[in-house]
Chain A
Amino acid sequence: DGGITQSPKYLFRKEGQNVTLSCEQNLNHDAMYWYRQDPGQGLRLIYYSQIVNDFQKGDIAEGYSVSREKKESFPLTVTSAQKNPTAFYLCASSIELGGVPPMNTEAFFGQGTRLTVV
């Protein structure tokens, strides 16, 4: 079955450590996204990538890093510089067909990773 797989589902990190969240998709989508979800705040965009070897900062990129070496994979590293990393992290992907107005596409989401700093 096609879809997006995030791992692990739960992750615990000690203060001062870097951790990497995995996101893999087999939908052949060009674009991939990382969102952070906090209670009562909706989803905020951390990073996005439209093509391999290219990525852009979103609204809250400080303390995070990403790579896009393969079309299928978009791992997110939460660094020790992120002051408040405890959150639910969601990865998404979409076809990017271009055009104004945008084509009739939507983003598909993984099941999320809950990161807790202990």
Chain B
Amino acid sequence: GDSVTQMEGPVTLSEEAFLTINCTYTATGYPSLFWYVQYPGEGLQLLLKATKADDKGSNKGFEATYRKETTSFHLEKGSVQVSDSAVYFCALRKGAAGGTSYGKLTFGQGTILTVHP
């Protein structure tokens, strides 16, 4: 079945450090890929997405590129801030064959990021 694997956390960085959170996936067909962010006590918010190979999603200084050859969607940010402290989830989503859509999201286990001043 489909699966998503994220790098183990927690990740602790100083402000303005470079961030990479690795994400790899296993899926048949053509999934769309997403990064969601969850702040303490809240639901998930979409951070960025990419729907086909070589697409780059970007938002709020975060970037991730859909690499079909390595089945990866690593999240990067050049200079993190204290306000980026949260849990980050990588996820994939695809429709079913035959024209019937079922958009189940498959999530990785989440990576806790803590940024210190």
Bound Cα distance from A48 to B96, whole angstroms: 15
Binary A-proximity of B2-37 (CB < 8 A = 1, otherwise 0): 000000000000000000000000000111101010
Per a CB cutoff under 8 Å, which of B31, B45, B93, B99 touches A99? B99
Bound Cα distance from A40 to B8, whole angstroms: 9
In chain B, residues 34-70, which have Cβ atoms closer than 8 Å to a Cβ of chain A? 34, 36, 41-46, 49, 51-52
Bound Cα distance from A40 to B110, whole angstroms: 7
Contacts from A to B (Cβ < 8 Å): 4, 6, 31, 33, 35, 40-43, 45, 48, 50, 58, 90, 92, 94, 96-112
> B105 near A: Cβ within 8 Å?
yes
Per a CB cutoff under 8 Å, which of A6, A94, A97, A109 touches B44? A109
Q: How large is the interface on B (under 10, 10 to 19, 20 to 34, 35 or more residues)?
A: 20 to 34
Which chain B residues border A99 with CB–CB below 8 Å?
95, 99, 101
Which chain A residues border B107 with CB–CB below 8 Å?
35, 42-43
Query: Are A43 and B89 touching (Cβ within 8 A)?
Result: yes
Shortest Cβ distance from residue B112 to the other chain A in the assembled complex, whole angstroms = 9
Which chain B residues border A96 with CB–CB below 8 Å?
101-103
Shortest Cβ distance from residue A1 to the other chain B in the assembled complex, whole angstroms = 14
Bound Cα distance from A100 to B99, whole angstroms: 7
Which chain A residues border B29 with CB–CB below 8 Å?
100-101
Q: Known interface pairs A102-B95, A104-B49. Does A97 touch B43 (Cβ–Cβ under 8 Å)?
A: no
Bound Cα distance from A98 to B99, whole angstroms: 6
Residue among A45, A99, A101, A112 facing the most chain B CB atoms (10 A cut-off): A101
Which chain B residues border A6 with CB–CB below 8 Å?
43
